[in-house]
Amino acid sequence: MKWSDFFTSSVGKKLIMSLSGLFLIAFLVVHVGLNACIWAMDDGVMFNKAAHFMGSNVVPRVLEIGLFATFFLHIIQGLVLEFQNRAKRKKGYAVKMGSKGSAWYRKSMGLLGTLILLFLIMHIAHFWVPSRITGLEPVYIDGKEYHNLFAEMASVFNDNLLVVILYVLGCFSLAWHLVHGFQSAFRALGLTNHKYIALINSVGIGFSVIVPLAFALMPVSFYLGWV
């Protein structure tokens, strides 16, 4: 089988969704870990240093390109599949199946993904664009100049209830997207052993709760003045 046949087949496309999804899950781990530094209670020193490392070291910068490419692939492929799949039933049912047999979030990956995409655009505009393109206020730690990303977070979230709510909703979408996506990614790769499937299901649900919750607490923490 040629590469082109593989990447255009339905199962090949699913494998791409799975692999790109797993890469994005790995990214979330890094992202949530770094951002958790805001809770170091040092006025963002550790956080700004960590952000600086990610922005200046060559390895994360190269990975960042991969990250954007993966996002792009995952989003485009996801949307394409969603529309292609919908077109496979031109005439629909008068009585819909609803959630008989399939939980709502399993059938709503396209919708959840789109919500996350909208959130992502806002999120990039809030942080990535100023940090990489338009520039941020400098802050001096031990005499060295850093971007004050911590202050940027404060300015985005403090006194801005609407943004905080949008971020929490974004994290909510992410959580449900992950509940399905995490285990589905492994099943799409061929995981058939029920012992491991059970393990992946548990880890997946844990991950889907903990990571989005941690993300959601970040804007809330700023808004409520916990940091």
Partner 1 sequence: MEHYSMNLTLKVWKQQNASAEGNFETYQVKDISSEMSFLEMFDVLNEQLIHDGKEPIAFDHDCREGICGMCSMYINGRPHGPWHGTTTCQLHMRAFKDGDTVVVEPWRANAFPVVKDLVVDRSSFDRIIQAGGYVSVNTGVSIDGNAIPIEKDNADKAFAAAACIGCGACVAACKNSSAMLFVSAKVSHLALLPQGNTERKNRVMNMVSQMDKEGFGSCTFTEACEAVCPKEISITNISRLNGEYAKASLASDKQ
Q: By the criterion CB under 8 A, which residues form the site for partner 1?
A: 1-2, 5-6, 9-15, 81, 84-98, 100-103, 106-107, 109, 180, 183-184, 187-192, 194, 197
Cβ distance to partner 1 smaller for residue 89 or 144: 89
Task: Estimate the share of the chain in helix, then strand, then coil, as percent rounded to the nearest 5.
Answer: 75, 5, 20
Nearer to partner 1, 144 or 194 (CB): 194
Q: Give the whole-angstrom CA distance, residue 127 versus residue 132.
A: 8
Residue number with CB closer to partner 1 (160 or 201) = 201
**140 bridge partner residues:** 145
Least distance to partner 1, CB of residue 46, Å: 40
Q: How far is the CB of 5 from partner 1 (least distance, A)?
A: 8
Among left, alpha and beta (phi > 0; psi -120 to 50; other), residue 137 is beta
Please state, as a whole number, how many other Cβ atoms lie within 10 Å of the Cβ of residue 113. 20
Beta carbon nearer to partner 1, 35 or 183: 183
Q: How far is the CB of 141 from partner 1 (least distance, A)?
A: 47
Closest among 34, 6, 4, 10 to 153, alpha carbons compared: 34
In the complex, minimum distance from the CB of residue 164 to partner 1, in angstroms, rounded to a whole number = 32
For residues 6 and 68, which CB has a smaller minimum distance to partner 1 in the complex?
6
* Three-class SS state of 139: strand
Nearer to partner 1 by Cβ, of 34 and 73: the residue is 73
Closest to 121 in 3D by CA, of 68, 78, 189: 68
Smallest gap from residue 120 Cβ to partner 1 (A): 21
Residue 110 Cβ, how far from partner 1 at the closest point, in Å? 9
From CA 72, how far away is CA 43, in angstroms rounded? 34
Relative orientation angle of helices 149-157 and 45-56, to the nearest 10 degrees: 110
Contact by Cβ (8 Å): 170, 115: yes
